[in-house]
Structure 1
Amino acid sequence: MNAALRHEAIPWPTRRSPRPRYIMIKPPPGPAREIGALSARPAELLHVTVRPLGDAALFDAGAEARLLRALDAFRAPPFRVVFDRLHGSGETLSLRGSRVMEGARRFERRLVETLTHRVGMPRYRFAPHLTLAYGHTVRRNEHIDAVSWLVEEYLLVESVYGEGRHVLLGRWPLVGA
């Protein structure tokens, strides 16, 4: 394993990281429109972070190649996500589920197991949510009509801080284990 990709060597991707990379899922057009009614964020930025990977600068050519090979080899079945809670923490406003999303958790655990053995992984507590807004928000936790979709692909994305855009680096279908 590349020393630059050990758990303790990868800093937490924050808004200060200029180009953090993530494994994420994004809603398809129908659910994205529903979510868009609750968010001022552009539809193309709506996502659920499955795993932060660290800043792009941490990936030399060898680490990048190992990551892409691992993602190419990874297999998992599609799963459903259901968001039926509007949660405001004071710092963010997000959609969350009132029930554990077992399919999403299985997907994340299998992905982490695969990537840890091949490229290393930063520590991260996966709690499926979709952020609608950053900054000062009202504290709340209320039921909403469910927004749900069958997740049929996952993405490798580089977020460009300060520009409000995602650069798609790879897309993989969920086709079964």
Structure 2
Amino acid sequence: MKRLRAEGMTMTAQATQGGFDFGTAQSIERLFVGLMLPAAQAGQAVEVRRRSQELYGLKEGRNEVRSDRLHVTLIHVGDYAGSIRADVAAEVSAVIAAMERPSFVVSFDRVGSFGGAPGRHPHVLLGEAGVEALKAFRLSLWEAIHRRLKKTLSNPQFNPHVTLMYGEARLPERAVAPISWRATEVELIHSEVGRSTYHTLGRWPLG
């Protein structure tokens, strides 16, 4: 499993799958399956965010998701105290490698905000018809992973979105020029929560 040996990453079996006491002094290590935005589409998403900041008088550079971190979370596998679970990462990898992985087109054409913690409302890209193929793939992925692990921090319901930033208030929804691409790979990612650091543990082609 060479893909599980990402530089700078420590993986042990000390934490409990599926969450822990967030009051702990230990770091929060997140494991998720994601679809990263290609560079061109990430650039378009950044322009949408800048327009939102202009429209509503928000400061740039505050609570923004970095352009190279823009993604769609497909499966939130788990959060762990101190280190992720190498055995869980290996099982998820095996599931993805064994399943059918068709390619599909993704298109987001709206932007709006979700509810969230006070001062932390996600401002997100959204779609309707343009995300139906993504939703179908994600459901098959969730079913396959859930059969193997029995428990994750995701459920069958799925509202595809890309988080652009976090804001003090919920912003009105508006239409934007479609941000579209053909998804060509899916990734298993270890996120060091709060440190904007991602480690890609594996990549699998689509199509």
TM-score (norm 2): 0.71
Asked if residue 81 in structure 1 is aligned to residue 111 in structure 2, the reply is: no
Asked if residue 36 in structure 1 is aligned to residue 46 in structure 2, the reply is: yes
Asked if residue 142 in structure 1 is aligned to residue 167 in structure 2, the reply is: no
Flag the 1:98–1:19 CA change in 2: closer, same or farther, 3 A.
Answer: same
Residue in 2 aligned with 1:155? 187
Asked if residue 53 in structure 1 is aligned to residue 85 in structure 2, the reply is: no
Q: Is the 8 A contact 1:51 1:126 kept in 2?
A: no
- Number of residue equivalences: 167
Identity %: 28
Q: Is the 8 A contact 2:33 2:187 kept in 1?
A: yes
**Code of the aligned partner of 1:80:** V
Q: Alignment RMSD, CA only?
A: 2.5
**Secondary structure of 1:101's aligned partner:** helix
**Code of the aligned partner of 2:203:** R
Flag the 1:138–1:61 CA change in 2: closer, same or farther, 3 A.
Answer: closer
Residue 64 of structure 1 and its aligned partner are, at CA, apart by: 3.2
After superposition, give the CA deviation of every residue in 1:70-99 in whole Å (9 maximum; x if it has no partner): 122122211111111010246111110143
**Secondary structure of 1:19's aligned partner:** strand
TM-score (norm 1): 0.82
**Which protein is bigger by CA-based radius of gyration?**
2
Matches within 5 A, 1:1-177: 10-11=18-19, 18-39=28-49, 40-56=64-80, 60-89=85-114, 91-99=121-129, 101-122=131-152, 123-124=154-155, 125-175=157-207
Q: Show structure 1 runs of 5+ residues with no match.
A: none
